[in-house]
Chains A and B, each alone.
Chain A
Amino acid sequence: MAGETRVLFHNIDEPGLADIETYRRLGGYTAIEKAYRQMDPGDVLAELQDSGLRGRGGAGFSMGKKASFLPHGEMDKYLCCNADESEPGAFKDRELMQKNPHQLIEGIAIGALAAGANRAFVYIRGEYSEVADILERAVGQAYEAGYLGEAVLGAGHEVELVVHRGAGAYICGEETALLDSLEGKRGNPRLKPPFPAIKGLYDGPTLINNVETLSNLPQIVNRGADWFKSFGTEQSPGTKVVSVSGCVQRPGNYEVELGIPASELVHGLAGGPPPGREVKAWFPGGSSAPVLTAAELELPYTFEDLQKAGSMLGSGSIIVADDSVSIPHLALRTARFYHHESCGKCTPCREGTNWTVKMLERVIGGDATPMDLDVCASVQDNIIGNCLCVLGDSMAMPVGSMVRKFREEFEGAIAEGRAGAVLPLEEAEEWAPMKVG
């Protein structure tokens, strides 16, 4: 049976790992020595490119390739670590930072060297204030030890690192909104191109990577690209920390080789739904991912296989809904979140999320007609691809998939409403088949 394969989570439960002494005792900060003292920055970048490491924040773009897009030459260049982690269902970066902050700091220093960046920021969501305290303490220790500062390890390359706390906005996980927020503004997404690699933070070249992506760098430098590629599949190399939550008996973060069957994560590691219950639907990559059915649990958990199945691996967060969960209610919960978080800049997203919530409320409240489902589907089609960022798509894709795959449940709710046998919305919500414990 395939189980966990711990690389990023190696030593994760060692007491005091968040302290620099413990981290060093267990072999930490050797990769930074190697990269800064023995390697040419170009070779570090080549190693990262060769490893095939794909971004762990959602898009799955090649990390090395993205770093190579930054222009050469003497100028301020920036590396932003995206620690906003606000995708519902995702909590892996929280555990990585809380328990092993130095692994991330070492990764940032290596990433900055490879990309030629001299200024680095960790944009951490405001809700993670406990974690930000841990991270700030670790950054202080790293400065003292010479792993950050004007000349890292006396090697001439400068890396200044600032932990920047957000204040509660999902949209700031979108890379250009993150940049606006970091510049002290409202977190609105920007028009692309220009891409951040050319014109990002303070209009300078900027590399933006997720916490887990950067946490992978120390071991890639230490052990090489071939070692990294020995895990996972050809197109999805490495291990992945997967957050599993919802209707499972052991919710938590599990680090696995990409390519294991999703059922191993849901049933094997997370213990599956409570006794007597069955998986009805699951989000494979956070609440933005189109839902899949129980039959699709046999899919290999990789970027490419989930894409082929019409969904996505995204941030690597599985949310399981069992057969006690009403899909129309699940759709409404999902839509409300994106409606609340829409920044309002683009009309299809601002209005589309609003209308979707209203239509789903009608379905559940018993005021809908069968036509509403088609209108609902067409609203989703009109959001996708028509906005500056993918927040609207992030609602349209899962809600659209729920209407498509569980249409009979929506039709059932509508028919029941038309027969005059349902409760007002507030009561219907209260009666949602959700149980405690």
Chain B
Amino acid sequence: MIDEGFQDPARHLEEIEIPAPERDAAEIPELHEVDCPAELREEIEAAMGRYPDARSASIPALWAVQRRYGWCTPEGMRQASAVMGISPAHLESVASFYDLFRLEPGGRHELLVCTNISCWMQGADDLLEAFCEAAGADRERATHEGGTSADGEFFVSAFQCMGACDIAPMAAIDGRYVGPLDTEDAATAVEQIRAGSEALPEKSLSRRGAAGGPEPEPDPRVKEGI
């Protein structure tokens, strides 16, 4: 953010107060300076133990922070950095690189709608619109950085190819893949989530039948190579 003072030629440089950062992001906090919950610390330490170099655990640590606080909160990242012994700035640089890490609060449930080529050709833009309408999220924001519904329940975002073009158009609801969806499914899913039940269980990818799509009869075109 540019300080408005810089744009005002009448204002002398010495008058501009540059506030000192409350905390130096390059400095690694000590564990006693942060109030890291024991479970979070254990989870991060377990992740660190899985790698020859503990710094490899930065993505797992950020996942742990996001699971605990709903998003990568600055305080959560400081806690992780204290546990890992790396700077909060480094963790923040990592968090900001990856699309699945959330750097702002909002939305207890995450609705990611694929709008890449294969899903788009099957009507993904309409599906995104339907999800926005059902959840009460802003379409424009959902198309770009993702938007939170007015009641704070849903985070809706267009997302780039999630590797499920066989069920296009599809969405990931709190990480679970569902598809192929039509526009009515969006309202159903939102209702089901509000009621506390599983969204669109019959469209869950994990329940999809045979490879290559459902084929009720033995397919004469399939030859076993073994």
Contact = CB atoms under 8 A, between A and B. Distances in A.
B101 A167 contact: yes
Given A127-B172, A184-B58, A168 B98 contact: yes
Contacts of B120: 333, 434
B124 to A, nearest CB: 9
Contact of A253 (B60, B159, B166, B225): B166
Contact of B94 (A76, A164, A184): A184
B43 to A, nearest CB: 13
B182 interface: yes
Contact of B123 (A85, A243, A321, A437): A437
Interface in B50-70: 50-53, 55-60, 62-63
Interface stretch (B26-34, B193-201, B205-213): B205-213
A334 interface: yes
Interface residues on B, range: 35 or more
Interface stretch (B3-11, B12-20, B147-155, B215-223): B215-223
A127 B225 CA distance: 32
A69 to B, nearest CB: 21
A319 B60 contact: no
A166 interface: yes
Interface residues of A, number: 81
A239 B125 CA distance: 35
Contacts of A76: 52
B138 to A, nearest CB: 14
B121 A185 contact: no
A5 B225 contact: yes
Given A88-B160, A127-B163, A245 B99 contact: no
A202 B220 CA distance: 49
Given A4-B221, A95-B211, A184 B100 contact: no
B160 A340 contact: yes
A186 interface: yes
Contact of A246 (B98, B162, B165): B165
A88 B123 contact: no
A168 B100 contact: yes
A308 B56 CA distance: 41
A94 B163 contact: yes
B165 A243 contact: yes
B221 to A, nearest CB: 3
A319 B165 CA distance: 9
19 contacts: A4-B223, A10-B224, A88-B118, A89-B165, A93-B163, A95-B211, A127-B159, A127-B172, A165-B60, A167-B99, A168-B100, A170-B160, A223-B226, A243-B166, A246-B168, A319-B118, A321-B121, A330-B117, A434-B125
